[in-house]
A = this chain, B = another copy of it.
Amino acid sequence: MNILLWLAYKGTDYAGFQVQPNGVTVCETLQNAMEAVLGCRPDVKGCSRTDAGVHARRFALNFHYDGRVPAEKLVPALNAHLPPAIRVLEARPAAEAFHARYAAHAKTYRYYLLNARVDDPFTFDTCHRVAGHLDEAAMQAAADALVGRHDFLALCASGSSAAAHGDTVRTITACTVQRRGDRVCITVTADGYLYNMVRILAGTLVQVGLGKLSAGDIPGILASRDRRRAGPTLPAKGLVLENVLYEEETNS
């Protein structure tokens, strides 16, 4: 039986989703809970490898198992074996061939900014603070210039495998900047992302918000394919994977 599982997690204390040698990951923590509940340790296919410190409000993954524990019992059973920073939101049977990574046709990320002179103790782990005033209208104009099918090599961390293979064209279908009081958030939906792309995109929009770059600079930055022309990579802690979009036929 192939199961689609939706997770939410606060990534502060994890070395990302994917199992890796240094640091505890979300995936191995989940596999420990699976072992306790299912008596086996399924191979987990995550929708994405989130970096250390990045969070997820809706992260999808799938795994195959013998179905001994019914899908509807998985949510409370796994949550009973997981720390509060990781919660299973939903579990349901998926088509046998469904793969959480390959079937995803778009993902939405949000970068959370606090535009204030003092940090907020309640969102310190989930927001990046910018002290200088951010002009959110200028940021939205720059965001508009990023929407579409482009070569995003300028917004890609150097040394990525996609860059080495010349596979750096992606399509951003939506990019919005919203302010509510001293909170500014950048929401991006794309068919795929290059390494650190959202954190560099957010860093570039912040430069625009501070008046150090303008919306008119964006096309030239993209055309340059030069990482040094874009803004800085903002910290992982402000980044949240908000949702993953699948076709309807995801269902079994």
Contact = CB atoms under 8 A, between A and B. Distances in A.
The copy count of this chain in the complex is 2
A121 B88 CA distance: 10
Interface stretch (A32-40, A62-70, A78-86): A78-86
Interface string A97-122: 00000000000000000000011111
Contacts of A10: 121-122, 124
Interface in A1-39: 8-10
Give the residue among A8, A118, A121, A124 with the most B Cβ atoms within 10 A: A121
Interface in A203-229: none
A145 interface: no
Interface residues of A, number: 20
Contacts of A118: 75, 79, 87-89
Q: For the complex of A and B, list the 5 residue pairs with the smallest distance between their C-beta atoms, beginning with the closest.
A: A10-B121, A84-B124, A85-B121, A87-B118, A8-B121
Given A10-B122, A55-B122, A87-B118, 12 more contacts: A9-B121, A10-B121, A10-B124, A55-B121, A84-B119, A84-B124, A85-B124, A86-B121, A87-B120, A87-B121, A88-B118, A89-B118
